[in-house]
Amino acid sequence: MAAGSRIAKPQAVLFACGLNSIRSPMAMAIARWLFGKTIYVGSAGVRKGELDPFAIAVMEEIGLDLSRHRPQTFEEIEEWEGLNFDLIVTLSPEAHHKALDLTRTIAAEVEYWPTPDPSGAAGNREQMLDAYRQVRDQLMKRIKERLGRPAGGNE
């Protein structure tokens, strides 16, 4: 994409973070819930981690089941589905660098949404869950702002 250009309403979005275990799966689940089949949504990580139980818990609070998500890497997505995305939203510096490297060979816009990794939160269970809720809510707000309001009103 040329500098300064921006896809107003992408048809396919890939959310990416370091391990595909918290932030990008949360973003993917939220976008799928909001937009259904009107936008194709995927998620990937630079490396493959294990799905985080706190991420599952805070998504269940809003009625979204993340328990069946299987973390995958950029390479796995490319091999299984192809990297046919209009927009790659990176949520960590590591994923941003990887996405920029990939756009040397694919035509996709890359946006960096700095998103804290809640797995480093300290405190009791409720304090840790609050860190995950903040990330979930931040992603919800940012997805709505960037991709527009959903037609079906899934809010």
Is 27 or 2 the better-scoring residue by pLDDT? 27
pLDDT digits (tens, 9 = 90+) for 127-147: 999 999 999 999 999 999 999
Going by C-alpha positions, the residue among 42, 27, 21 that lies closest to residue 113 is: 27
Count of residues for the chain?
155
Assigned domain for 152 exists: no
Assigned domain for 154 exists: no
CA angle 118, 120, 126 (to 5 degrees): 65
Assigned domain for 119 exists: yes
Q: What is the CATH number of the domain that holds 63?
A: 3.40.50.2300
Query: What's residue 149's pLDDT?
Result: 66
Range of the domain at 22: 12-145
Question: Per-residue confidence at 87, pLDDT binned at 50, 70, 90?
Answer: very high
Residue 1 has pLDDT above 50, yes or no: no
Secondary structure tally for the chain: helices H, strands E: 5, 4
Q: CB–CB of 136/34 below 8 Å? A: no
Query: What is the spatial order of strands in the sheet that 12-17 belongs to?
Result: 40-45, 12-17, 87-90, 109-112
Is 153 or 27 the better-scoring residue by pLDDT? 27
Pairing assessment for the beta strands 12-17 and 87-90 based on DSSP bridges: parallel
Assigned domain for 155 exists: no
Taking residues 120-128, what's their average pLDDT? 93
Pull the structure tokens for residue 40: 């194709």
Query: What's residue 150's pLDDT?
Result: 61
Assigned domain for 1 exists: no
Q: Tell me how many domains the chain contains.
A: 1
Residue with tokens 């997805």: 143
Query: What's residue 5's pLDDT?
Result: 53
pLDDT digits (tens, 9 = 90+) for 90-116: 999 999 999 999 888 788 899 999 999
pLDDT digits (tens, 9 = 90+) for 54-68: 999 999 999 999 999
